[in-house]
Amino acid sequence: MQTKLFPPLLISILLSGCATSPTGRSQLLIMSAGEMEQMGAQSFATLKKDMPIEHDPAINQYVRCVATAITNEVGGNWELVVFKEPSANAFALPGRKIGVHTGLLAVAANQDQLAAVLGHEVAHVLANHGNERVSQQTAVSQGMSITQAILSPQSALGQAGMGLLGVGAQYGILMPYSRAHESEADIYGLDLMAKAGFDPRESVTLWVNMGKAGGETPPEFMSTHPAHKTRIDDLLKQMPKALQLRAEAQAKGKNPQCK
């Protein structure tokens, strides 16, 4: 009987989870905001236990200055941790959590380039990309509880759940966002950094720097992203709007000075 009832039940779940992304793309979002926040909080707590934290006051002040300018545009109380890790990486999680690796600071050469990365990562959260991936996995697995799995982060299933949130690379499991997700985060993040008063043109320079830093092997942050030329072309198409948003932000007195 369960086999006969499952298809209608699944269809009901899929229909109830329909949503629209910031760019108008259809999304499947089965998980509630509360469930996603729980997953994000548990993942972040695990990372703080397992990864070394950077305590240098100057580094923390600088990263916090940039992150605060970005998050002020979206509201809420965001927790930021700078991890003492050599990889050029950053991430944001549901529940308003942001992690930045110190290795990123060697590639993001100024406040505007760092803002491009953080705007991109926060955009993933705002666009519910993590929820979308967890929902897709939940539907495909026909009942596998990612929410329960994340409560045991050291298990294989728990690590897979962390991968769905975008932080699994530290555990050898990387479940990349799709190119559609990455492109959305680029566009949304570009507008976000511009609204905060940062120079959106530096987003293009950032990707050039990322390419030079990676050589034949791109930095972790880039490893699942679209090709450089595609990404830069898309950013340049959005640049006139972003520059207008920045001009409006500066007219309101938003002029970050993070050093």
Q: Which residues are catalytic?
A: 121
DSSP category for residue 75: -
Per DSSP, the three-state class of 107 is coil
Q: What are phi and psi of 190, to 5 degrees?
A: -60, -45
Phi-psi domain of 24 (left: phi exceeds 0; alpha: psi -120 through 50; beta: other): left
Q: How far apart are CA 145 and CA 140, in angstroms?
A: 11
Q: Report the distance separating Cα 79 and Cα 97, nearest Å.
A: 5
| Contact status, residue 76 vs residue 184, Cβ threshold 8 Å | no
- Residue 224 and residue 39: Cα distance in Å, rounded? 22
